[in-house]
A and B are shown apart, each in its own frame.
Chain A
Amino acid sequence: MAAVLSLQDVRFAWSAHAPPLLHVKAFSVARGERVFLHGASGSGKTTLLNLSSGVLLPQQGRLQLLGHELTTMPSAARDRLRGAEVGYIFQMFNLLPAFNALENVCAPCRFSAAKRQRVAAQGLSVEDAARHLLLALQLDPQQLATQRVSRLSVGQQQRVAAARALLGAPPLIIADEPTSALDHDVREQFLDLLFAQCQKFNIALLLVSHARELGRRFDRSLAWRDLNRAGDT
């Protein structure tokens, strides 16, 4: 199965004099695969996600997103690639506060022609595709079109954020502690909906969390301490 994301001997430190924060010998995510990475808060998991999406660059190693070598790519091209091929879900504070929910879902398509094209290939406008996704995630698009995002519950906000990450069917979705602010039932429901949509569009999911028990629901579950060898060197 072709790798959507691939890291080989990647080392990262915040500065040349600082001790290495991250050293990943080999790590990859296949197309459509659901990978869970668990570890303690503040251990560097988010840095891995920043590297995986091309926002940060490692000092050493090879880092490929859909076959594109991010370490040699100009920063503007990396931004374009991330906008086109990656969807992102944060733990909380996920949404642009000045935009309503529907506008938030549509926002990535404003930055990416590739996402717009993929939406158009489904025979839908960006707004219609966003409404379909919101419905699939059990949200009322009519109501959300006029509602301020700050008035939504945390669970609703996470589903809006998921819809935004899924719109345009990017090959990879990165989720950084997306369920930490949700209670058990809402968390399970959120993951059900997210998995269903990922499966529908064959989207790979890389989800990091400190909650180890989530791992049973994924294709692959990894411990961050096993993946990151920075402390060993």
Chain B
Amino acid sequence: MLLRVAAKNLLYRRLTTALMVVAIAAGVSLLFAIERVRSGARESFASTVAGIDLIVGARGSPINLLLYSVFHLGDAVNHISAATWQELRQHSAVKAAIPLAMGDSWRGHRVIGTTADYFTHYRYGDQRQLVFSAGRAFTGLFDVVVGHAVAQRLSQGLGERLVLAHGVSEVSFNVSHDDMPFTVVGILARTHTPTDRSLFVSLPAITALHRDADARTAPLELPTLTAVLLKLQEKFTVLALQREINTHRPEALTAIMPSVSLRQLWQTLGVAERVFLLLSFLVFGISLLGMTVALLIGLDARRQEMAVLRAIGASPRFIFAVLIVEALLISLAGIVAGVALSYMGLYAFEPLLATKLGLTTGMFTPAATDVWFLLAIIGCALLAGCVPAWLAYRGSLADGLTVRMG
């Protein structure tokens, strides 16, 4: 009877009900979408680099080094010499030293000069190795390997010839190396990391791109490097080696532990993340307030209904319960619509989020915390429903069977 009365009342006031459901759905969809993007961003962020113990760059800010070497954001102010890379490579504590030389691009995507070690030793997520979805690693001077998102922008795929450009922008106004096209020889499988949005060439290719036309017959030297990723023989040597690199005399260097710097960077970025979450909570709170106000406004017009229910044997507790069930039904409908809306939104924007931001990890996989999250939303809606329900309860006790209208 309770559910029947509540459902009938809501259907009878279908316009008001629909507006309340839309308001709740808007709040929930925003809250849920932001939470999904937030957790996706956190997971993507944390899984960007794994299996790398130290990142070495020219002396400077650790966060800046992390940003340009791992996230491919910004540029290095200073570079390190190839000799230092060779020195690090031969260090007894080092298992692999992966050089990174940046500065060129293709349609806004970073071109990274490196060695084939990158594909062997670089890890992401829970220690996952890079996998070729097609082709192989570069072997020739003008071979290029592309990430998943870059491959989406190719017209032919493997064998396609690309002209790289200086600088990083969607449309290059700088010098294009159109006399030296590269051939796509490999496509990496999707990683949801900046690797997807990058192109990889050999170190000699970077030198070849930048030397003068009259020096093209000279043997290729190694270019200066942006950073070196180190994988150590033993994890416990990381602090000693970091100290050793940071006090390196011939060249001023900075060595950072990516896991520590990632955490520091996330703490900085986390402020914006928390502001977004706070804003979405506010939107949801306002939606709930709207529902409460709508139910409160409706109460006065519903005194007759309360009086009739009391007359036919309903207790004040029943009337309280009717209002609570109405709030519950509205919030449940709003939650279902809101979650559906947020998933539709995420689905619609998924290609954009994946290509531009690398955010897809976990966005479509319901997490255990989602259940608690949704239960908390229902709990809030019930609390909001308690206000009109309590007033209706008090009113039905005080009014009795008196129908006061106007």
A30-51 interface code vs B (CB 8 A; 1 in, 0 out):
0000000000000000100110
**Option from B11, B311, B314, B403 in Cβ contact (under 8 Å) with A53:** B311
A-B contact count (CB 8 A): 72
With A98-B9, A98-B12 as known contacts, state yes or no: A107 contacts B312, CB within 8 Å: yes
A89-101 interface code vs B (CB 8 A; 1 in, 0 out):
0111111111100
Which residues from B are CB-within-8-Å of A56? 400
**Option from B13, B311, B405 in Cβ contact (under 8 Å) with A88:** B311
With A98-B8, A176-B401 as known contacts, state yes or no: A79 contacts B308, CB within 8 Å: no
Question: Min CB distance, B121 to chain A, in Å?
Answer: 69
B301-323 interface code vs A (CB 8 A; 1 in, 0 out):
00011011111111111000000
A55, A75, A76: which has the most chain B beta carbons within 10 Å?
A: A55
Counting CB contacts under 8 A, is B1 at the interface? Answer: yes
Q: Please determine whether A111 and B311 come into contact, CB atoms closer than 8 angstroms.
A: no
Query: Helix, strand, loop or mixed for chain B's interface?
Result: helix
Q: Please determine whether A55 and B401 come into contact, CB atoms closer than 8 angstroms.
A: yes
**Option from B5, B316, B317, B403 in Cβ contact (under 8 Å) with A93:** B403
Counting CB contacts under 8 A, is B402 at the interface? Answer: yes
**Bound-state Cα–Cα, A55 to B307, Å:** 10
**Option from B313, B315, B400 in Cβ contact (under 8 Å) with A75:** B315
Q: Please determine whether A90 and B403 come into contact, CB atoms closer than 8 angstroms.
A: yes
Counting CB contacts under 8 A, is A80 at the interface? Answer: yes
A206-222 interface code vs B (CB 8 A; 1 in, 0 out):
00000000000000000
With A90-B307, A96-B305 as known contacts, state yes or no: A83 contacts B313, CB within 8 Å: yes
**Bound-state Cα–Cα, A75 to B1, Å:** 20
Which residues from B are CB-within-8-Å of A82? 311, 313
With A75-B315, A90-B311, A112-B313 as known contacts, state yes or no: A99 contacts B8, CB within 8 Å: yes
Which residues from A are CB-within-8-Å of B314? 79, 83, 111
With A46-B402, A97-B305 as known contacts, state yes or no: A88 contacts B12, CB within 8 Å: no
Which residues from B are CB-within-8-Å of A112? 313
CB contacts under 8 Å to A, within B376-406, are 400-403, 405
22 contacts between A and B (CB under 8 A): A46-B402, A49-B401, A55-B401, A56-B400, A75-B315, A76-B317, A79-B313, A80-B313, A82-B313, A83-B314, A88-B311, A90-B307, A92-B403, A93-B403, A94-B308, A96-B5, A96-B305, A96-B308, A98-B8, A103-B8, A108-B313, A111-B1
Which residues from A are CB-within-8-Å of B311? 53, 82, 86, 88, 90
**Bound-state Cα–Cα, A93 to B5, Å:** 17
- Given A95-B308, A98-B5, 20 more pairs with CB closer than 8 A: A46-B401, A50-B400, A50-B401, A53-B311, A55-B401, A75-B315, A79-B310, A83-B313, A83-B314, A88-B311, A88-B401, A90-B403, A91-B403, A93-B304, A93-B308, A96-B309, A97-B12, A111-B1, A111-B312, A112-B313
A115-128 interface code vs B (CB 8 A; 1 in, 0 out):
00000000000000
**Bound-state Cα–Cα, A93 to B399, Å:** 15
With A98-B9, A98-B11, A111-B1 as known contacts, state yes or no: A88 contacts B400, CB within 8 Å: no
Which residues from A are CB-within-8-Å of B308? 90, 93-96
Which residue from chain B places its CB closest to the CB of A148 in the assembled complex? B12
Which residues from B are CB-within-8-Å of A204? none
B308, B315, B402: which has the most chain A beta carbons within 10 Å?
A: B308
CB contacts under 8 Å to A, within B287-308, are 304-305, 307-308
Counting CB contacts under 8 A, is A151 at the interface? Answer: no
**Bound-state Cα–Cα, A98 to B401, Å:** 19
Which residue from chain A places its CB closest to the CB of B309 in the assembled complex? A96
Which residue from chain A places its CB closest to the CB of B4 in the assembled complex? A110
Counting CB contacts under 8 A, is A164 at the interface? Answer: yes
Which residue from chain B places its CB closest to the CB of A84 in the assembled complex? B313
**Option from B12, B312, B402 in Cβ contact (under 8 Å) with A83:** B312
CB contacts under 8 Å to A, within B1-52, are 1, 5, 8-9, 11-13
Which residues from A are CB-within-8-Å of B13? 98
